[in-house]
Amino acid sequence: ARCNGESLYGTVGIGRGSFHRYWYNKFEHTCKQFIYGGIGLLYETDNIFRTKEECSQACKE
């Protein structure tokens, strides 16, 4: 279920941080990078990974 979560594009979160994170795009079957603000999300999702390697391993890219 983690790899079938919401799609994340652009900058997400309400913080002022600028953290590179990855999410799995189930339509393109690839891990995509986005910028996480550091605090909260507009909606609840667990489709967030700290590294591309973590995303690829979890979702068998």
20-52 pLDDT, tens per residue? 999 999 889 999 998 888 777 656 678 889 999
Phi, then psi, of 58 in degrees rounded to 5: -65, -35
pLDDT tier for residue 10 given thresholds of 50, 70 and 90: low
Assign domain 2-59 to a CATH class.
few secondary structures
